[in-house]
Each structure stands twice: as structure tokens, then as C-alpha cells.
Amino acid sequence: MNSIHIISQSFSIIDAIRRINEIHGEPLILFVVDENNTMRGTLTDGDVRRALIKGISVNAPITDAMHCNFNFLRIGINDGVEDIQRQRELKMRLVPILDDDNHICEIINLERYYTKLPIDAVLMAGGKGERLRPLTEKTPKPLIKVGDKCIIDYNIDRLLAYGVTHISVTVNYLGEQIEEHFQKEREGVKIVTVREPKYLGTIGSIKFVETFYSDTILVMNSDLFTNIDYEDFYLHFHQHNADMSVAAVPYIVKVPYGVFNLNGHEITGVTEKPTYSYYANAGIYLIKKELFSLIPENEFFNATDFIDKLMTTRHKIIRYPISGFWIDIGQHDELARAKEMVKHMKGF
């Protein structure tokens, strides 16, 4: 929480002007608290201007200019993803979350972040990237540049933009480079790197993440280039009360010939140049944390093995269709496509 937005009601309007002048790159909004740190009102640069126009002295207390009927969310009551979504729809910029005593627990900046998802995220970054050689002989695939950023950083930055603050990256091949890459915090968030002792597949290494802070965990490959809407993904997962949600991308097969409809050896019809639509695994999953107990310890285990096990145990697995773009940067042509695409994108 950035305390620059919090000011005591004992301060004067001129003090508030000075404080607002110190705010850079964020909404010019102050949250006014009393001596018990209880929130009493809000004050914007516009409120200050209107007060001065009315003839109120700059030495008058903030309470002469602040709004007492202010907008807020209550922790544990209406601070969920849907509630934050409504605040965004109302064009709110800074939203305080208050406890039962009206103390400010958190301030959400909806100009910087889409929302605040109550999930942990784990990015799998241990693969050798053999199909991208020679690029990956000395550089792990997640650190290959697409435009001016590494592949993995597009995913990290996007997760941060959705308010995810507990992010782990599992590493193996050339893992020391990825560990060095994440030495510094990103927007105040420490990215935790986790070493797998051997190659454990596309989900096996998750057993080495020591701590999860949320009941829902997002697991994804680190070499994806996508603008998936994580908020909609999360809401879809919970609205369907699923145990696991698998993000999927449409895959279309066009057959350039007439295809026979058969009944045994007998031809019953001909479909001319049919098109078949499928959904392919996008390598992004939302999973209930307690299900990780089904993953074997220190064994090679792919996400598809995990899906098979959940189906066998009759857990609910759903598909989430990705409506935006998605590239699995596993081969040179896919890397080239991502590099070309990023030239024409702003703010991604």
C-alpha cells in the first residue's frame, strides 16, 4: 500500500496541496484519516480547487474541503473480483479496501492494474528448448528476447497487471540465468525461483513450491505469448465450480478433398472439402490447490497426466476458450511470428 495517498485530517489544505504535488504517475487522490487511522474522507486536486474558489483559506483544515461520502470496498464482504470489476466499470481510479473499523488495508490502483486476483501463479521454465537451437544452447528459452523483453517477462508483467503478487518460476536447464534474472523485485513483488532436481515434466515440479497463499493456483508454461484475460479466466473457473480449468485455443483443420462418409465398406455420402474445428491445450491452467496432492513426489509428470488422473477420479475439468492471441514459442517460425506481432502492439 502506497502511504503517499494517506493524509491526516489534522493537516491543512496547503499541506494537502504539497502532498498532491508529490504524487507522480498516479491519480491525484488523498484518503483522509483521523488520529486512529480511521478513514474519514477523500480529497482530490479538483476538491482543493473548488474549495479555494469558494474562498476557503489554504490554511483551513482538510475537513473543510474533503468528501465524507466516499467510495470504498469492505474486506471479506465485497472485495472480490466481481466487486473490483464493478469499480472499474464505474471509472474509479483508486479504491480503498477497509476493515470493519474503517482502517485502510489496501489501495487498488485501477489505472495501473486490471484487478486483484486471489490466486498464486507458477510458471514452468525448466525445459531445454531443443527445437529453438542454436538460440537455446547458451540461453534458456524463457530469456530469449521478443522485441525489447524476454519471453517470460511478458507473462510476468501481465500477471502483475492482474494483481497477482505470489509468483513462482520453476527452473532447471540453465536455471542460474533465470535465477539471476529475477534477483530484483518487480513492482514490489519478489518472483520466487524454484529448482527442480531433475526433469519432472510440465507440472511435476510444482511439488517443490514451498508455500501457496491462495486456494486457486494458475499454472502455465513460461514460453507463451498471449493476451489471455486472466480475470475472465478466473471468473469462468469459479462460476462453473470447477476443480480445474484448461485454457484452450481453436485449431481448425481444412481438408482439401472430398471426404467419404462410410458405413463399413459402403460409401453413404461425400462431404466436399470439410473443415473441422478442435480446441487445443494452451498450456495454461487454473487448479484448486488441494488437488496437487494427487501429483506424485519427485516423478516425471505432465499436465496431461494430471488431467487424466482428475478425470479418473471424477473431478470437474472445464475448457476455457482463449479469444485473444496465443503463440507457443517452441519453434523458430513461432518466434519469428511473435517478433513480428510485437512490432505492431502498444502497451503489451
Q: Where are the domains of the chain?
A: 3-109, 119-342
Separation CA 344–CA 143 (nearest Å)? 21
What number of helices (H) and strands (E) belong to the chain? 8, 19
Q: Which residue has the higher pLDDT, 238 or 130?
A: 238
What is this structure's pTM? Answer: 0.86
- As a whole number of angstroms, the distance between CA 249 and CA 240 comes to 19
**Secondary structure element (H or E) that encloses residue 167, with its range:** strand 167-171
Top CATH class, 3-109: alpha beta
Q: Which residues contact 216 (CB under 8 A, 6 or more apart)?
A: 118, 119, 120, 234, 237, 238, 286, 287, 288, 289
Read off the pLDDT of each residue in 272-283 and give the average, rounded to a whole number: 90
Judge if 3-109 and 119-342 fold alike in CATH terms: no
End-to-end CA gap in the chain? 25
C-beta of residue 316 within 8 angstroms of C-beta of residue 232: no
Domain 119-342 maps to which CATH number in 3.90.550.10, 3.40.50.300, 3.30.365.10, 3.40.50.150?
3.90.550.10
* 188-242 pLDDT, tens digit each: 899 999 999 989 999 999 999 999 999 999 999 999 999 999 999 999 999 999 9
Instruction: Detail the DSSP E strand segments found in 86-141.
Output: 94-98, 104-109, 119-125
> Rounded distance, CA 220 to CA 206, Å?
11
Q: What is the pLDDT of residues 205-214, one digit of tens each?
A: 999 999 999 9
E strands, 210-323, where? Answer: 216-221, 224-226, 244-254, 258-263, 266-272, 275-288, 317-321
